[in-house]
A and B are shown apart, each in its own frame.
Chain A
Amino acid sequence: MPLISRTFIKAGMIFFALSLITSLLIEVNISALPGLIPLFWHMLIVGWITQIIFGVSIWMFPGRNRDEGFKAQLWGWLTFIFLNTGLILRVISEPMSGVAATGIWKILLVLSAILQVLAVSTYIIEMWPRTMSKKQQREKRKRQRNRKKKEERQ
């Protein structure tokens, strides 16, 4: 399993645990912070389910670049950074914007929205061309082999 997928899945597991801790806080009603219910759902659906889908699909879908590293897995790493930064910013700023009247929390909330849209966009950029048939996969491999041969000859 590539590093990017392992990172996605482990981050997803942390959000899974955090979402259930949040649901406990909601159930026992001990938190003074508002807006925990949407946070619980988003940590569960975005932080856990979507994140594990991202990690597994980047690993299992055809046409994966087997080289490791940030540059080789650029769109995957950007997705990871945007998604997790966006979600963490939301987890912090959404309850705080309900408690404190300062504008910084509102700005962070908007930034979180932008980052999550960016995460989805970079994920689609990575995965759209990889949603391909076996024939397309063979042709892609053939093109890659030919390109490598050309580079070796030069």
Chain B
Amino acid sequence: MPIISRWMIRCSFVYLLLGTLLGAVMLVHKAYPLHPAVWQLLPIHIEITIFGWIIQLTLGTGYWMLPRFLESPQRGKKIPAILMVLFLNLGIMFVVINSLVQTTLQLSIAGRLFELASVILFISLHWNRIVTYRSRE
């Protein structure tokens, strides 16, 4: 498993644990109200579980498992792959911080732009890897 995938998959595990803990706090709050502000965790719970866990894990696994190029570098250039990981996680963090802190900065827009940049990098890295090397009969 390449290092890029290992980073993404391990980050996704951390987000899974965080997202589940936040969900558990909200579930306990439903039974025994803890604090009115607990419901502010809902958008963070959704962002972390969807983008941090599911999307990050699928991107990391796709980078590892999709067919590789026959020549080196077999999974494409390393720099765009590193940027893909960096942008996705920066994007998630910006969106989460925007939900936590009252600020005039458009952090959620910046976060979504980072996530979009990461997805574009993922597509550009993988578009030409969606091939078959089996010759037609």
Chain A interface residues (CB < 8 Å from chain B)? 45, 49-50, 53, 57, 61-62, 90, 94, 97, 105-107, 109-110, 112-114, 116-117, 120-121, 123-124, 127-128, 131-134
Contact = CB atoms under 8 A, between A and B. Distances in A.
Nearest to B61: A57
A53 B54 CA distance: 9
A107 B28 CA distance: 9
Contacts of A110: 27-28, 31-32
Q: How would you classify the secondary structure of chain B's contact residues: helix, strand, loop or mixed?
A: helix
B76 interface: no
B13 interface: yes
Q: How would you classify the secondary structure of chain A's contact residues: helix, strand, loop or mixed?
A: helix
Interface in B76-105: none
Interface in B54-85: 54, 57, 61
Nearest to A54: B16
A133 B2 contact: yes
Given A127-B13, A132-B6, A94 B21 contact: no
B54 A113 contact: no
B130 interface: no
Contacts, number: 66
Contacts of B20: 116-117, 120
Interface size class on chain B is 20 to 34
B68 to A, nearest CB: 13
Interface of B: 1-3, 6, 9-10, 13, 16-17, 20-21, 23-25, 27-28, 30-32, 49-50, 53-54, 57, 61
A105 B23 CA distance: 18
Given A110-B32, A120-B16, 20 more contacts: A45-B49, A49-B54, A50-B53, A50-B54, A53-B57, A57-B61, A90-B27, A97-B30, A105-B31, A106-B31, A109-B28, A113-B24, A113-B28, A117-B20, A120-B20, A124-B16, A127-B9, A127-B13, A131-B6, A133-B6
B24 A117 contact: yes
A131 B9 contact: yes
